[in-house]
Structure 1
Amino acid sequence: MEYIIGSVLFALILIGTAFFWRKKQYKEVDVLEEQKLDIQHRPVLEEMTKVKQLNMNGQTEELFEKWRDSWTYIVDEKLAEVDSLLFDAEEHIDKFRFNKSKKVREAIEEELKIAEEQMNVILQELEDLMGSDEKNREEMEYIQQVFKESRSRLMAERHSFGKSAEALERKIYAVEPKLDEYQSLTGEGNYLQARELVLALVQEINDIQSIIERLPSLNDEVQYSLPSQRSELKDGFNEMSDKGFPLSHLGFEKADPELESQIGLAQKHLLRLELDEADDIRQSVQDTLDQFYDQLEDELEARSKLNEKLAPLSEKLKETVKRNEELTREVDYVRQGYQLDQTNLDLPKDHEKQLERITREFHLMTDRRKEGETAFTILAVEAEKLETELAEIEEQQKNSSSQLQKLRSDEITVRELQDKCFKKLKELVKLVSQKNLPKIPDYWHMELKEVNNQLEQIDRLLTERPMNMKLISQHSSSAERMTEAFEENTSDMMNAAESAERVIQYGNRYRSKNEVVFIGLNEAEMLFRRGQYQEALEQAAETIEKVEPGVLKKIDDLKEQHV
């Protein structure tokens, strides 16, 4: 029983699945049917009837017949075949022959694809034909307008085109037959051929327009300006050569025939209306001419500068040689009294050799100037080089002379500083003696002795010959610093002695009343008598601070009131 029920259920499932797939495949057939109807109902015939607006002759008539035959074939043959295949596909589905139905549907899809591609070709060619006529009419208006303008301008401005006017005239009038050809092609219905002709005419008329715009100025340059510049340049070279300018190094004589040949070649290009080639040559020739003009100007300027420099340079050379001789004598004299570094000793000799070389080069340059075979630009550069070298030597001479003079100045400064230090020491010794101090500290005597020794060392160095001013200056700076330090230490010592004495005197009022004060002040007095004034001040102040805080400030205030 269960086996029977299971079999029935399985059969029902199979049947349900089969009906499901059949329904699905019916839908796919319906889709193909819609695609066929879409192609069949496209307004291809309506589009083809628009062609009748054109001249139905020649190429247009041939295309129309081809498109009509193609469309008839698509509708009567291809789509009819599709109808038959659609019927077969439905029949296979009815009988649940799904695989056969699938193969038929694939064949239908291929047929529809081919039919649609053929239909699209027809529509595209229709669009091209109709569009070509519209574009042709628009562009022909432009072509005819430029043609008339070009012809009128040639007649009105023929002189500005020079010898190229005939070639330009031929090129312009060569367009006219093609305009008539366009009318013939259009009248015969050959619109696509007419399109190719129009495209060629647009390029041709644009070339003519460009030539008309560029030719006048280019013709003026090539026919008149360049030959004139070349002739003027040649005259300029000859004139300057007659005036003694050495110009052979510029190479104009070799370049001139090539320039003439290039100008002639450019003129031939113009006659053939080859403007780009002519313009390239024009630019090259113009650059060469400009270069030669610049070189001539450089030679003129160089001769002017050279003439201006020669006399002052000769005078400067003599002055520098004379100054070097004076510097040599000055070095010989100064070295007897002062030690000189090797640079100052060797400088006059080095300059002497350098000046001998410069003198030789200067005379050689003036000789070449007289011979007239060396370019002025070369001689001017050489003169400028010599001028620079002399300026450098002059600067070094001034620096060396200044250093020599500074040695004497430094000696005077050292002697003045030495006298000043000696006077300061005497003043300080006198000032200390006037203070009647119980004892002068040993460190003060030692410091005084050190300063005196330093000053005596300077005195000995100043008596040596030759003097080492560098060493003397170092000792002099040390003596100055030592004197200043000694003056400061002397002042501190006297101030400490005065303050200690004043504090002890102030504290005597507590001596008999306070044993601590008594002992502390006795120790301070003992330090004072030994010459230890700073220690005495600190001891006395510390002792009195114990009984009267702030006593030091009070003593200072009393001192200021007394003053």
Structure 2
Amino acid sequence: MEVVIGVLLVLLLLFGIGYFVRRNVYREVDRLEARKIEIMNRSLTDEMSKVKNLNMTGQAEELFERWRAEWDEIITTQLPEVEELLFDAEDHADKYRFKKSKQVLGHIENMLNAADQNIEQIIEEIYELVSSEEKNTTEIEDLREQFKKAKKTLLAHGHTFGKAHPALEAELLKIYEGMKEFDAETQSGNYLAARDILMEKSEEMGVLANKIDLIPSLLSECTSAILLQLSELQDGYREMAEQGYFLEHIHIDAEAEKIRKRLLAFKEKIEETEIEGIQEALHEINESIETMYDLLEKEVHAHHYIKTETDKTETELFELDKQKLQTSEETELVKQSYQLTEQDFEKQRHISKQISMLRKRHDQLKLNLVKDQIAYSVLKEELTELEAQIQMVKAEHDAYRQMLLALRKDELAARQQLSELRLLLKESLRMIQKSNVPGLPDSYKQLAEEANQTVKKATAKLEEIPLDMVAVNVLLEDAAESVKKLTSETEEMVEHVFTIEKIIQYGNRYRSKDAHLAADLREAEGLFRNFHYNDSLEKAAAALESIEPGVLKRLESSVEEEISKIK
């Protein structure tokens, strides 16, 4: 029983598989059938009707007949064969010959693809033929117009082409023969062959038109314009040489001869209508001539510059020589009072040596001018460099002189600062005296003595000969720091004394009421009489603030008023 069931299941499975495979075959048959119908409906009648408007002879007729035969082959032979093969594919599927059915369907697919490609090829060839006829109709008129224009130019201006005229006429005739051949091919229905001829002759016409456009100007440049420039250039060269210009470094005659040979070769090529690269070469020649003109002009400008600037340079050197002597004298005077370094003396010697070298170079330059054996442009470069070096030496010289002046300025500034420091010392003493300070703490006395000593040391150093300003400035800085500290200490001590007095005076109102306050104030007074002003202020202030907070703040303005009276 189980075996029977197993067999039945296998049969059902095979039947199911066969059913699905046959259904897929039928679907593929339907699809290919639809493609076949689509191809049958793609009538080429409309496309081929476009060709009938052409001359149906020659190439056009041959193509038309071939296209029609290929279309008939598709409709009458290939598609009926496809129909039969579709039936075969279905029959194979019904008999479960699926592999054979698949092979037939693949063959049908290839046949339909080939038919499609054949139809597309026919349509493309029809378009090419028809469009060639349309383009030919338009472009031949353009070519004829260019031909007429070229012929008219050659007739009207034949003399401007020189010996190139016959060759140009021959090229134009060749194009004319090509147009005649084009017309013949068109009349014979050979539109594609006519198209090839037209494209070839249009390209030749473009080249010829370019030659006709350029040759007259190229010939003019080779035979007259450039030669005229060369003659003018050589005349100018000889005239300048006669005027005394040294021009041996500008080889104009040799360069002119080379250019004339090149122009002769260009002329021969142009007469053979071979103009490729000649326009660029003539442009290079013109640039070369322009460069030679520039070189001559450079010599003229250089000559003018030398005439106007040489005397100015000599005047500057004369002034520099005079200043050098003055600076040497100033150095001798300054070193009697000031301590100059070896580097300072070396700088002065270096500047003096530089000025002497500049004088020698200038004398040599004047000698070269007399000899007339050096180009003015070279001399101008030397003069320009000499002027630049003069300015550099002048700047060094001015800096050295400013250094000498700076020594005196530093001395005067030091004396002024010492005077101000002495005044500050006096002001501190006066403030002490006017404030009725009961006595001075030892630390303050030591600070005052130190300030006085540093000022005296700086003053003594400033009076030494030779004067060492580096050492003076060091001592001066110490003195300024000491005096500044003393001034600050003085102001602080006087402020403390005045504040203590105000606190004690104010606190007297509480003495009889508060024994603790009275004791603190007595201790503060004792510290005050022993010159311990800081400790006295702290003691008195703390005692009074405990009774009447904020009282110090209220007393500040009164203290400031008292201090302002003694300043």
TM-score norm. by structure 1 comes to 0.87
Determine the structure 1 residue equivalent to 2:299.
299
Q: Could you tell me which amino acid in structure 2 is paired with residue 511 of structure 1?
A: R
Q: Name the aligned partner's letter for residue 529 of structure 1.
A: R
- SS of the residue aligned with 1:333? helix
Alignment partner of 1:446 is 2:446: yes
Instruction: Compute the displacement of 1:320 (Å).
Output: 1.9
Question: Per-residue displacement from partner, 1:327-381 (whole Å, max 9, x unpaired)?
Answer: 2232222112211123321112112322333233222222222222222222212
Give the direction of change, closer, same or farther, for the CA distance of 1:405–1:40 in structure 2 (3 Å limit): closer
CA distance in 2, matches of 1:259, 1:217: 18
5 Å matches for 1:14-93?
21=21, 25=25, 28-29=28-29, 31-32=31-32, 35-36=35-36, 38-39=38-39, 42-44=42-44, 47-48=47-48, 50-71=50-71, 78=78, 82=82, 85=85, 89=89, 92=92
Counterpart of 1:465 in structure 2: which amino acid? I
- 2:343 — aligned with what? 343
Q: Deviations over 1:186-207 (max 9, x none)?
A: 1122222111011112222333
Match of 2:477 in 1: 477
Q: How does 1:277-296 map to 2 (within 5 A)?
A: 277-296=277-296
The residue number in structure 1 matching 2:259 is: 259
User: Does the 8 Å CA contact 2:414/2:476 hold for their aligned counterparts?
Assistant: yes
Secondary structure at the counterpart of residue 250 of structure 1 = coil
1:488 and 1:127, CA in 2 relative to 1: closer, same or farther beyond 3 A?
A: closer
Distance change >3 Å, CA 531–CA 158, structure 1 → 2? farther
Which whole-Å CA distance do the structure 2 matches of 1:514 and 1:86 have between them?
A: 137
2:319 aligned partner: 319
Q: Distance between the aligned counterparts of 2:38 and 2:557, measured in 1?
A: 125
Which secondary structure does the structure 2 equivalent of 1:466 belong to?
Answer: coil
Q: How does 1:159-170 map to 2 (within 5 A)?
A: 164-170=164-170
Decide whether aligned partners of structure 1 residues 337 and 312 sit closer, same or farther in structure 2, where only a CA change above 3 A counts: same
Corresponding residue SS for 1:518: helix
Superposed displacement of residue 395, structure 1: 1.5
Number of aligned residues: 563
Match status 1:515 vs 2:509: no
Matched, 1:465 2:457: no
Q: Which runs of 5+ in 2 are unaligned?
A: none
Instruction: State how far apart, in whole Å, the 2-side matches of 1:533 and 1:427 are.
Output: 21
The residue type equivalent to 1:267 in the other structure is K
Identity of aligned residues (%): 32
Summarize the Cα distance change of 1:512–1:211 in structure 2 as closer, same or farther, 3 Å threshold: same
Structure 1 equivalent of residue 407 of structure 2 = 407
**Which letter maps to 1:491?**
E
- Taking structure 1 as reference, are residues 449 and 109 closer, same or farther at Cα in structure 2, changes over 3 Å only? closer
1:23 and 1:537, CA in 2 relative to 1: closer, same or farther beyond 3 A?
closer
Gaps in structure 1 of 5+ consecutive residues: none
Paired residues of 1:324 and 1:352 also in contact (CA < 8 A): yes
How big is the shift at 1:277? 1.3
> What is the correspondence of 1:7-406 to structure 2 with a 5 Å cutoff?
21=21, 25=25, 28-29=28-29, 31-32=31-32, 35-36=35-36, 38-39=38-39, 42-44=42-44, 47-48=47-48, 50-71=50-71, 78=78, 82=82, 85=85, 89=89, 92=92, 96-156=96-156, 164-215=164-215, 218-406=218-406
SS in 1 for 2:277: helix
In 1, the alpha carbon distance for the partners of 2:35 and 2:513 equals 139
For 1:182 and 1:68, locate their aligned partners in 2 and report how far apart those are by CA, in whole Å. 27
Question: How has the CA–CA distance of structure 1 residues 45 and 349 changed in structure 2, closer, same or farther, with 3 Å as cutoff?
Answer: same
Q: Matches of 2:12 and 2:526 in 1, distance apart?
A: 141
Q: Distance in 1 between matches of 2:510 and 2:464?
A: 64
| 1:17-54 Cα distance to aligned partner (Å, 9 max, x none) | 65765565455455555555555565346655654433
Deviation at 1:280, TM superposition (A): 1.3
Does the aligned pair in 1 maintain the 2:338–2:468 contact within 8 Å? yes
1:252–1:292 CA contact under 8 A, matched in 2: yes
Q: What is the Cα deviation at residue 70 of structure 1?
A: 4.4
Using structure 2 for the length normalisation, give the TM-score.
0.86
Instruction: Give the secondary-structure state (helix, strand or coil) at the position aligned to 2:249.
Output: helix
1:403 is matched by which residue type in structure 2?
A: M
How far apart, in 1, do the equivalents of 2:509 and 2:501 lie?
14
User: How far did residue 4 of structure 1 move?
Assistant: 6.2
Question: Aligned AA for 1:365?
Answer: L
The one-letter code matched in structure 2 to 1:394 is K
| 8 Å Cα contact 2:92/2:98 also seen in 1 | yes
Which stretch of the first structure deviates more once superposed, 353-362 or 117-126?
117-126
Alignment partners' CA distance in 1, 2:434 and 2:34: 139
Letter in 2 for 1:459: T
Instruction: Return 285-294 or 55-64, whichever deviates more.
Output: 55-64
CA 1:203/1:495 → structure 2, altered by over 3 Å: closer, same or farther?
same
Q: Report if the CA contact (8 A) 2:495-2:559 is conserved.
A: no
Residues 262, 281 of structure 1: 8 Å contact kept: no
